[in-house]
Amino acid sequence: MNFDPQTLRYDEKGLIPAIAQDHASGQVLMMAWMNQDAVAQTLATGRVTYWSRSRQAFWVKGETSGHVQKLVDFRLDCDRDCLLLLVEQSGPACHTRRQSCFYTAVREGDEVELMAPLTDQA
């Protein structure tokens, strides 16, 4: 079946959540949002492109930081209202320079930091 970005279910703001997962390690890196054009652009270019809700603009991941996400596989869920992107991540995914945005765990009622920021070499 031919894929049409229009057939995804976007929320009332025209957005759909997109989870980025490292294709090799399986680590969940981040969650951000796409609109229909960002979906089309991601598929057309192979470079993961979100929609920045704060800037109200396309956000080609890594365009300024260099920490790009190359699309390896594009998946959608049973309800067509969430995306899972398997990616090849250059450098850290998080703006804090951690590998993943999910670096805080809650264990026995306390917040625990699981990852340190990567150094410049990363």
Residues that bind a second copy (CB under 8 A): 1-3, 17, 19, 21, 25-28, 30-31, 43, 73-79, 82, 84, 94-96, 98, 101-107, 109-111, 114
* CB closer to a second copy, 60 vs 82: 82
Minimum distance from residue 76 beta carbon to a second copy (Å): 5
CB 19 within 8 A of CB 84: yes
Query: Annotated binding residue at 11?
Result: no
Encoding tokens for residue 71? 């699309």
The residue type of 116 is: A
Minimum distance from residue 109 beta carbon to a second copy (Å): 6
Encoding tokens for residue 25? 């390690």
Helix (H) or strand (E) holding 7: none
